[in-house]
Amino acid sequence: MPGDRVRTSRSDPPHHTRVPRYVRGAVGTVVEAHGSYPLPDDLVRGLPSEPQPVYTVRFPARALFGQGDHAVTVDVWESHLHPVEDRRKGNP
Amino acid sequence: MSADHHGPAAHLAARVRHVESLLERRGLIDAKELDQALATFLARASPANGARLVARAWLDERFRTRLLADANAALPELALSMGGGLQEQRLKVVENTERAHHVIVCTLCSCYPVALLGPSPTWYKSESYRSRVVREPRAVLREFGLVLDPAVEITVWDASAESRYMVLPRRPAGTDGLDEQALAALVTRNGLIGVAAV
């Protein structure tokens, strides 16, 4: 899984979500897995939540903000990530 | 971004207080015991812990490798842990090098490795730091007095889930003769967050 390209969920739910707004819909590369944890988005609404894998995903600043020469890593639950098959399709 | 003391966080704090009082009323916990447990945890939580880890990593190459590969497994070697709370938190240590600089933030709230760094500084929880450091880390670091060579690649680690991060700063030049304790004394809280060189 490290090295895989993924796109974060674009959803903008009315409730708490652990996908920071600035990475929504962005394409990044998986750095590593952290283990599995219940999804806070569900827990805060009192919904049952099975543990699911959490991954560190690395984004080039340019993909997030349109500028910058740095990178940002964000830890994202699996259900908020979608595989990006084709590099060309991956450009946001 | 949610602020620390408004909205869901304030609501959650109220719920925690309510649950706490119910547990006390039913004799399941003792308020004094709880206060004592918190006080004990906070008394041990200090940036001196992070500094000890850094000094050991500077002196012991194999420890450094273990710390970077699996920090939680390496911590007990210095009688430290990421426990203290209800469950042990995963720790990831990121290493600064000549070419790469790391800085940590929690854009959603204020996640921080309290056990190793003590309570977080106010600016770490400020909306200004949280929103700006991910967008323009070079400018933010400059405001902290840290000017990096343009060739150094900056990575900002946003602790948005269950893991906590700590920076392993570069060992300063001219410190060859120093022992572990003297090296640890050089390490600052800001260095462990990544907004200072060491």
Look at residue A46 and give its three-state secondary structure: coil
Domains and CATH numbers, chain B: 1-44 (no CATH), 45-193 (3.90.330.10)
What's the gap in Å between the CA of A33 and the closest CA on chain B?
Answer: 11
Tell me if A59 sits within 8 A of A23, measured CB to CB: yes
Phi/psi for B188 (5° steps) reads -105, 160
Test A35 with B135 for CB contact under 8 angstroms. no
Residues of chain B with C-beta less than 8 angstroms from the C-beta of A62: none
CA dihedral (B83, B88, B89, B94) positive or negative: positive
B131 is catalytic: no
H-run or E-run covering B157: strand B153-158
H-run or E-run covering B92: strand B90-95
Best mutation target, A41, A42, A72, A77, to test chain B (most B CBs within 10 A): A72
Residues of chain A with C-beta less than 8 angstroms from the C-beta of B2: 16
Structure confidence by residue, pLDDT tens digits, B46-100: 999 999 999 999 999 999 999 999 999 999 999 999 986 557 899 999 999 999 9
Instruction: Say which range, B37-46, B100-109, B134-143, B168-177, has the weakest mean pLDDT.
Output: B37-46
B128 is catalytic: no
Nearest to B162 among A22, A54, A64 (CB): A54
For the stretch B93-128, what's the b/e string if a residue is b when 16 or more beta carbons lie within 10 angstroms of its beta carbon?
Answer: bbebeeeebbbbbbbbbbbbbbbbbbebbeebbeee
Structure confidence by residue, pLDDT tens digits, A27-65: 999 999 989 999 988 888 888 889 999 999 999 999 999
pLDDT of residue B37: 80
Test A75 with B156 for CB contact under 8 angstroms. no
* Fold of the CATH domain A5-83: SH3 type barrels. (2.30.30)
In 3D space, the residue among A49, A44, A57, A35 whose CA is nearest the CA of residue A14 turns out to be A44
Neighbours of B147 (CB within 10 A): 10
pTM: 0.87
B106 is catalytic: yes
ipTM for the predicted complex: 0.90
pLDDT of residue A88: 55
B163 is catalytic: no
Test B160 with A65 for CB contact under 8 angstroms. no
Nearest to B158 among A34, A70, A74 (CB): A74
